[in-house]
Structure 1
Amino acid sequence: MASFPNVVVLDHPLVQHKLTRLRQVTTSTAGFRRLTREISLLMAYEATRDLKLEPVEIETPLEPMTATMLSGKKLCFVSILRAGNGILDGMLDLVPAARVGHIGLYRDPDTLEPVEYYIKLPDDLSERFCIVVDPMLATGHSAVVAVTKLKQAGAKQIAFVCLLSVPEGLATFTEAHPDVKVITAAIDRELDEHGYIRPGLGDAGDRLFGTK
């Protein structure tokens, strides 16, 4: 397998355990949503590892002290619709004050290229760390377009978080955006002829929303 220096695979036992349950065909829609939310919260810890801190003076019940808090304007989560919302929910559990953006893309079934149908982003992206979320990094085309849109809107600090990825998608994405860290729970074997990740977990959007 090719090496991707800017890709972090989260091998934490809880992440891997929940991912295995997520993959199983017998997992219900409710179970899939719950597991996605739980994994996303755990992945948010890694995604926010490099946030800047600043010293603040506080009072504990016993004495004053110098402690640390997040510095300046903080986070923007950007969901690639519709399946990205499954990861967004878990991350907002951890950082409820984060700003949220949405980029609507669907994959043309014939060309496998992304088609944009909606975009709504906060105004101050240049001052925030933007974390783009989508369950799958398959062909990589949607992720490339989404991050390009963010950069065009002024974003300077960006990370991409997904449950599953494949070498083909990682190669496409890292070539287009070598400055953007990818955080994933697994790198699967390959894409099939329809652009689905193998072994994968099926269509994440359909499994999240019960549409198939």
Structure 2
Amino acid sequence: MKAPQGVTLVDHPLVQHKLTRLRDRNTSTKTFRELVREIATLLCYEVTRDLALTQREVETPLEVTTAPEIAGKKLVFASILRAGEGMLEGMLNLVPSARVAHVGLYRDPQTRAAVEYYFKVSESLAERQVIVIDPMLATGVSARAALERLKEAGARDLRFVCILAAPEGIEALRGDHPDVPIWCAGIDRGLDDHGYIVPGLGDAGDRLYGTR
């Protein structure tokens, strides 16, 4: 499916190969975790592609030169609990100095509204780029609520990264937060009657932690 405006579909062959293995119902919990972590690292590479750089003087074993380094304050990875934790390690593998924020949300099975149970973020979010991570963007309820809370806490430069997205979730998130671009590895057909992405890969949290 073609990515709509504001969405970057990461179609690198490695990402797509790993995503196919994630979809397989026979993939073990151990392998599923590894694949989520690996895809997250590759997505992190893409979402940080345009980070601002500055030049500094470096003394190599042979001479003094100038070389680029990332400018500004450290990134913040904001993990939407619980499934976002599966992506966090892969992100930190690439940017180990990043700060980490946690937004605890679950979707009420009856109302499908987002219910917050935990919120912990670093200071001075306004001065940092905040990358929000969650494997699935389905209805968009949790993502929209997380972005709203992070904005209330001062975040101004926000990006959202997921592995799979549904058109309904993209439309909802972009409708409420048109200033927040999205990166994903796949855009699926849509949602079923229970709000799950189809064909999808099942419940990412359950498959990450072996709870179903």
Q: Settle same-fold status: TM greater than 0.5.
A: yes
Alignment check: 8 A CA contact 2:3 2:187 kept: no
Alignment check: 8 A CA contact 1:168 1:191 kept: yes
Cα deviation, 1:86-136, whole Å, max 9, x if unaligned, reads 011100111111000000000011111111011000011011100000000
Who is 1:202 aligned against?
202
Q: 1:178 to 1:2 in 2, by over 3 A?
A: farther
Who is 1:134 aligned against?
134
Aligned Cα root-mean-square deviation (Å): 1.0
* Structure 1 portions without partners, runs of 5+: none
Aligned length: 212
Distance in 1, Cα, partners of 2:98 & 2:142: 23
Distance in 2, Cα, partners of 1:8 & 1:111: 30
* C-alpha deviation, 1:4, in angstroms: 2.1
Who is 1:16 aligned against?
16
Give the TM-score, by structure 2 length.
0.98
Give the TM-score, by structure 1 length.
0.98
Alignment check: 8 A CA contact 2:103 2:146 kept: yes
Cα deviation, 1:153-188, whole Å, max 9, x if unaligned, reads 111111000000011110000010111110000000
* Structure 2 portions without partners, runs of 5+: none
Alignment check: 8 A CA contact 1:108 1:114 kept: yes
Aligned counterparts, 1:85-124, within 5 A: 85-124=85-124
Distance in 1, Cα, partners of 2:104 & 2:210: 19
Distance in 2, Cα, partners of 1:11 & 1:2: 11
Q: 1:3 to 1:20 in 2, by over 3 A?
A: closer
Distance in 2, Cα, partners of 1:9 & 1:65: 37
Distance in 2, Cα, partners of 1:47 & 1:74: 15
Distance in 1, Cα, partners of 2:102 & 2:181: 20
Who is 2:53 aligned against?
53
